[in-house]
Amino acid sequence: MSADRATAYARAVVDGSVTACDAHRKACARHLRDLERQGTADFPYIWRPDKSNRIIDYAETLTLIEGTRPRPVRLYGFQDFDLGVPMGWYKLDGNRRFRRKYKSEARQNGKTFENGIQLSYLAGFSGYNYGNLYTVATRKEQAKLAWREIQKFIIADPDLSELFDVKEYKSQIISKRTGCVIEALSRERSELDGFRSIAASIDEIHQHKDNSIYKAIYNGTRSLPEILISMITTRGFRQNSFCGEMDKYALNILDGAVTADDFFADIYTLDKGDLWTDERVWIKANPLLAGTPAGLETLRRDAQTAHDMGGEELRDFLVKGLNCWPTNDDLLYIPFEWWLRCLDEKVTLDRFAGCSCFVGIDLSSGGDLCSVALEFLQGEDAYVFSHSFMPRGRFEEHILQDLAPYDVWADKGLLTITGGQSDYKNDYSFIVSYLAELRERYGFNFQGIGYDPHNADGFLAMLEQFGCPLVMVTQSARNLSAATEDFRLNLKSGHVHADAQNELLNWSMANARVVKNSFGEIKIDKEPNAKKKRIDPVDAVLDAHFLAMKPPAAPPIDVNAEMERYLKGMRK
């Protein structure tokens, strides 16, 4: 009888022979503890090492064709465990115990590869006929990653090619022996509703906005006696998310706080107190990558970049490279010293009289500031200015409640207070008047006005008097990511210059934090739960920079107006 590879690995982890994080050690200890109580009234499950070894043996008949030459699959110990344990535990009625699986690991450690092994095995060799299996994600391209792993196994192996029929155009792989179909699906076109599956690979759940994809798949399996819904992910940037909830649930299972005998959980991450700069602990989150000389060298390079650059690079390495949730202290948009370097006493609006510029406007109906920003381009350099507005009723409240010296900023001409003491809503006509005054006084040529669509109804008609393109700048990470990142890089390289006297803009820049969506796109936001720390002037600056990066097309020529102007000139 062959050795029980999954159990042998679990013992090595628990006795300390294998370096592992606390969560993974608990996953191994859970398996060993279950072995001791198997087949009892309180734990009616039995361990079948032959079934566990069967998928491991199957995996090592496969061939890897990616790279310069084909090579046979050889599993690591952690892969023996994560593939073998879910397949080796059975209920007394002969069906598998585990119906759900959650695995969290740093990127590039073979999670999708393992799910490809799992699904191809279940489709062709589990004994189930005419079942549906799915690779699932938020987008079709992501869903096809695990599907393509299976496709590559089949292409590389003449025997598998005889057993499976690959239909690329339908994103389907069909087992000729069992009639089971493996299909790549996504939520993009509501493809998931009404399906039931014997197995599914749900990829990168940190990208999922909610649990709808998981529930659509899992709810369709209730009538099936044996399934495996396998969720794989690297942790994301938002712990307040479906991924965060599932991760916490998995940790509760491993801690013994929750009993879920049908749920296999395994997490690879750093432990509290581990130094992220200590390469000896990287293997806890990277059992594959840190276990090879080439992979370890890659991690060293990434860690050095994170150390040198800090900020978003460090955050990305901690989350994606070490599978750690970000701390509650969101990172600053920029190190403030970058901003201090860009301040210049000589940068004033008088210097740009007669020049062209881009305008950004951040709107608010009440509590926050309204802000206007101008960006002038001269060669590689950008010069930015801002001015803000606040209704007097709100101004009086903020003077009493906030730590920010709005009264000082108003006295210095950085902030315009609008209306009377009973006015709590912004009057946007003041913004239009301010822009008209700037154009009249300095002869500016507005090349475009980028506006925050929030509360913009009725405001656009007032802006049409400037005769330049009006561009809605949606305040989302997807829309603003490029401008936000480009402006930050310009700041770092010293190509941004700002009025040193504008303390309100300085304060707002210090308040700006970066938030990232599940696709890695970024935008700025305030510090969590810090309603009194405004970033509206920075939002306006980025709206202007959004236009400066991609100047809008000039508005169509008003032929009648041009003819009237020409005739007036002739009459003179």
Instruction: List Cα–Cα distances, 240 to 103, 149, 209, 234, 387, in angstroms.
Output: 18, 31, 10, 15, 35
User: What is the CA angle 224-230-236, rounded to 5?
Assistant: 145
Q: Are residues 238 and 131 in the same domain?
A: yes
Q: Are residues 107 and 207 in the same domain?
A: yes
Look at residue 555 and tell me if it is in a domain: no
Express each pLDDT in 9-45 by its tens digit. Answer: 999 999 999 999 999 999 999 999 999 999 999 999 9
Outline where DSSP puts E strands in 163-244: 164-167, 172-175, 181-186, 199-203, 228-233
Instruction: Report which residue type is found at 206.
Output: H
Q: Are residues 148 and 219 in the same domain?
A: yes
DSSP-assigned letter for residue 96 = B
pLDDT of the residue at 241: 85
Express each pLDDT in 281-296 by its tens digit. Answer: 999 999 999 999 999 9
Look at residue 557 and tell me if it is in a domain: no
> Residue 85: enclosing H or E segment and its boundaries?
helix 77-88
> CA-to-CA distance for 547 and 449, rounded, in angstroms?
8
Which of 268, 298, 314 lies at the terminal end of a domain, its last residue? Answer: 268
Q: If DSSP codes are grouped into helix, strand and coil, which group holds residue 63?
A: strand
Q: If DSSP codes are grouped into helix, strand and coil, which group holds residue 149?
A: helix
Look at residue 558 and tell me if it is in a domain: no
Look at residue 185 and tell me if it is in a domain: yes
Q: How many CA atoms lie within 13 A of 268 on its CB side?
A: 33
Express each pLDDT in 484-514 by its tens digit. Answer: 999 999 999 999 999 988 988 988 888 888 8
- Match 């070490």 to its residue by tokens: 322
pLDDT of the residue at 433: 94
Q: Are residues 291 and 212 in the same domain?
A: no
Taking the whole predicted model, whether its pTM rises above 0.95 is answered as: no
Q: Are residues 365 and 395 in the same domain?
A: yes
Which of 229, 250, 268 lies at the terminal end of a domain, its last residue? Answer: 268
Q: Are residues 129 and 209 in the same domain?
A: yes
Question: β-strands 71-72, 63-64: how paired?
Answer: antiparallel
Q: Per-residue pLDDT for 363 more than 50?
A: yes
Express each pLDDT in 382-423 by its tens digit. Answer: 999 999 998 888 887 776 666 577 888 889 999 998 877 667
> CA-to-CA distance for 28 and 44, rounded, in angstroms?
19
Express each pLDDT in 53-82 by its tens digit. Answer: 999 999 999 988 887 788 999 999 999 999
- Match 């909830």 to its residue by tokens: 245
pLDDT of the residue at 378: 92
Q: Residue range 365-378: average pLDDT?
A: 84
Look at residue 484 and tell me if it is in a domain: yes
From 55, 181, 204, select the one nearest 118 (Cα to Cα). Answer: 55
Q: Are residues 236 and 317 in the same domain?
A: no
Beta-carbon count within 10 A of 191 CB:
18
Q: How far is CA 523 from the centre of its chain?
A: 11
pLDDT of the residue at 528: 57
pLDDT of the residue at 114: 94
Q: Per-residue pLDDT for 541 more than 60?
A: yes
pLDDT of the residue at 174: 93
Look at residue 559 and tell me if it is in a domain: no
Q: Are residues 257 and 285 in the same domain?
A: no
Q: Are residues 314 and 356 in the same domain?
A: no
CATH number at residue 206: 3.40.50.300
Ordered alpha helix ranges (H), 288-389: 293-309, 311-316, 336-342
Number of domains, the chain = 3
The model's confidence at residue 192, banded by pLDDT at 50, 70 and 90, is: low
Express each pLDDT in 248-268 by its tens digit. Answer: 889 989 988 777 899 999 999
> Residue 123: enclosing H or E segment and its boundaries?
helix 111-125
Q: Are residues 207 and 292 in the same domain?
A: no
Q: Per-residue pLDDT for 566 more than 90?
A: no
Look at residue 293 and tell me if it is in a domain: yes
What is the domain range of residue 288?
276-325
Q: Which residue has the higher pLDDT, 459 or 568?
A: 459
Q: Per-residue pLDDT for 554 more than 70?
A: no
Look at residue 309 and tell me if it is in a domain: yes
116-120, 184-188, 320-324, 329-333: which has the minimum mean pLDDT?
329-333
Q: Are residues 364 and 286 in the same domain?
A: no
Ordered alpha helix ranges (H), 375-476: 392-401, 406-411, 429-442, 460-463
Mean pLDDT computed over every residue of the chain: 87
Q: Are residues 178 and 201 in the same domain?
A: yes
Q: Residue range 437-444: average pLDDT?
A: 95
